[in-house]
Amino acid sequence: MKLLVCISQTPDTTAKISFNPEGTDFNAAGVQFIMNPYDEWYALVRACELRETLGGTVVALHVGTVANETTIRKALAIGADEAVRINRDPKSAADTAKQIATYAAAENFDIIFFGKETIDYNGSEVGAMVAEYLQLPYVSFASKLSLNGSTATMERDIEGGVEELEVDLPFVVSAAKGMAEQRIPNMRGIMTARTKPLTEIQPVDFEAPSTLVQFTLPPAKVGVKLIQPDDMDELVRLLHEEAKVI
Amino acid sequence: MVLVFVETPRGLLKKTAFEAVTYAKKTADLLGTSCVALTLGSVSNAGELGRYGASRVLNIPGDALDQLDGQVFSAAISEAVGKLEASVVILSHTSTGKTIAGRLAVRLNAGLISGASALPTVAGSALHIKKGVFSGKAVAEYEIKSAIKVISLMGNAVKPEVSADAVAVEPLSVTLTKSLIRVKATKTQEGVVPLSEAEIVVSAGRGMKDPSNWGIIEDLAATLGATTACSRPVADSDWRPHHEHVGQTGIAIRPNLYIAVGISGAIQHLAGVNSSKVIVVINKDPEAPFFKAADYGVVADLFDVVPRLNDAIKKFKAAN
């Protein structure tokens, strides 16, 4: 079993979001970065569980600069066997997808895992793009995944419900809540992560068909309007006349 | 021409369909071109999409299209894009749309902006499109330069607008590929508006003290025609089903009105709800961080105030 888990890093939820004065670049100074939770808690952990019961290898793949190696080491500490970093600061999901697909095309993975989306851009784009490049089936938002021989049984979230399905290896999957439980790396994991292989490979050229023009900050909330608990008619009036939502 | 792919879960037109067609029609107007709607598989009343501005409504028939497979769908849609010479493709930023959009962009060699929050602006042969990023803490504006452009539309970002009459549905024939995914069973909740589409959401947290106390939340939601939701600790303790969990690791939503009852407003919760248009917070702790993100607040015991709010809304509904 050869499993690939694609991990990205995102600013921590509590991070203060700011940009350069032109609004053309994210200001990373002082920002704490974390492994994207969907990649870490669900995709990576489920891949490690499958490897533990069925044998094989889990490769953690990251597209990013050397500054992101802390995140990659964490994936190794949680249980990935080896890691690959494609040395590029990707400027779009399309760029990331092209890099991952180029690498994976030569490797014949049985399953390629993604988190269902990153918590910073929430685009949910890369998994579908990689699946299209590789012409593999893509099961999005899977909340359960079990393997029986070369057939996977999965549940995925669809509009207003859940679907149970089967698909044969190889395939691409994006992991949603429910697929696994978060794992905190233990001391042994952290120690062995230091000696596990982390290979750097060079990116391919790619000109993204869409580019960022500018970031802006939304206007600040004007502040909460407090309503007296004994005057719910007033709240209803405000929701109707001022906010116009009922 | 602007082609809008309209998803039809279980053959039905949902609110997201009317939003997508309205958005596509307005985009087509900006570009001085027409808007054509495309549906796949069996669907009832697709001609209705004409009322929201589609000058033609096309349907690709085929039983295989009644189950979602992004590989089959994106191949069929790209063939339609080629046949109709569409330059912009619009779809909804839903779980269905997300399964298709990335594949479609690769197939069409197109730039993709997913989760657009406003109409595009035209800049020569390029389009500029805005979307919310960093859990609503910022807005990013992108430019798509490719010949074909793909845009997925965030739910509740535009209001459906009727601008014309229904049209006849025309069949369109394309080559269908065979799905590699075998769907075994589908479980759906009928009669409940899914959280991703809900205009009003009533959400409750640990302040409820016990799952048996949820009656007042369900009553309030029923009066408002709202969908119920909950915070992470509530879902984790199995007080409420997991699909109700809104927040960073649950569902991110952007309803018109979000009423948070007995939820302190941890930053991870806010990340999933602070794109809501209007937020009402009910909490007995005046220091609850949620009040900082709220438009309206009531500092009070929720067990007193929620039934009273329910009564006030009933009175309002009876009078209006």
For the segment A43-79, what is each residue's pLDDT rounded down to a tens digit?
A: 999 999 999 999 999 999 999 999 999 999 999 999 9
H/E stretch holding B18 reads helix B15-31
Q: Does B155 touch chain A (CB under 8 A)?
A: no
What CATH class does B200-319 carry?
alpha beta
- Does B271 sit within 8 Å of A233, measured CB to CB? no
Residues contacting residue A3 through CB under 8 Å, at least 6 positions apart: A47, A50, A51, A56, A57, A58, A59, A109, A110, A111, A112, A113
H/E stretch holding B319 reads helix B302-319
Is the pLDDT at A221 greater than 90? The verdict is: no
pLDDT value at position A218? 83
pLDDT value at position B126? 97
Q: Which CATH number fits domain B2-171: 3.40.50.620, 3.40.30.10, 3.20.20.70, 1.20.140.10?
A: 3.40.50.620
> pLDDT (tens digit, 9 = 90+) per residue, A183-198?
999 999 999 999 999 9
End-to-end CA distance of chain B: give it in Å, rounded.
43
pLDDT value at position B243? 85
In whole angstroms, give the CA distance from residue B3 to residue B9. 19
- Does B181 sit within 8 Å of A137, measured CB to CB? yes
Q: What residues in A contact B257, CB-CB < 8 Å?
A: 239, 243, 245-246
Q: Which structural domains are found in chain A, ordered by start?
A: 2-218 (3.40.50.620)
Q: Would you state the structure tokens that stand for residue A63, as one six-digit string?
A: 């597209």
pLDDT: is A85 or B66 the higher one? Answer: A85
In whole angstroms, give the CA distance from residue B269 to residue B10. 31
Residue found under tokens 């669907």: B43
Q: What predicted TM-score, i.e. pTM, was given to this entire model?
A: 0.93
Q: Decide if B2-171 and B200-319 have a common fold.
A: yes
Instruction: Mark the ranges of chain B whose per-residue pLDDT is less than 50.
Output: none
Q: Does A129 touch chain B (CB under 8 A)?
A: yes
Domain ranges of chain B: 2-171, 200-319
Instruction: Look up the ipTM and state it.
Output: 0.94
In whole angstroms, give the CA distance from residue B256 to residue B299. 22
Q: Does A114 touch chain B (CB under 8 A)?
A: no
Q: Does A132 touch chain B (CB under 8 A)?
A: yes
Q: Does B127 touch chain A (CB under 8 A)?
A: no
Nearest to A209 among B144, B179, B297 (CB): B144
Nearest to B293 among A11, A221, A229 (CB): A221
Q: Are B238 and B215 in contact (CB under 8 A)?
A: no
- Does B249 sit within 8 Å of A213, measured CB to CB? no
Q: Does A137 touch chain B (CB under 8 A)?
A: yes
Alpha-carbon gap: B145 to the closest alpha carbon of chain A (Å): 6
Helices (H), A137-231: 187-193
Q: Which residues sit opposite A225 in a β-bridge? A: B296
Q: How far is CA B187 from CA A138, A157, A164, B226, B310, in A?
A: 20, 10, 8, 21, 31
Helix (H, G, I), strand (E, B) or coil at A84: strand
133-152 of B, contacting A, C-beta below 8 A: 133-146
In whole angstroms, give the CA distance from residue A31 to residue A12. 8
pLDDT value at position B196? 82
A161: pLDDT confidence band, cut at 50, 70 and 90? confident
Residue A11's CB: how many other CB atoms inside 10 A?
Answer: 19
Count the residues in chain A: 246
Residues contacting residue A159 through CB under 8 Å, at least 6 positions apart: B7, B9, B14, B94, B95, B96, B194, B196
Q: What residues in B contact A11, CB-CB < 8 Å?
A: 134
Q: Does A28 touch chain B (CB under 8 A)?
A: no
pLDDT value at position B320? 86
Q: Does A211 touch chain B (CB under 8 A)?
A: yes
pLDDT value at position A160? 75
- Does B96 sit within 8 Å of A246, measured CB to CB? no
Q: Which residues sit opposite B231 in a β-bridge? A: none
Residue of A nearest to B291 (CA): A224
In whole angstroms, give the CA distance from residue B135 to residue A186. 30
Q: How far is CA A10 from CA A68, B154, B265, in A?
A: 10, 21, 21
Nearest to B143 among A153, A168, A210 (CB): A210
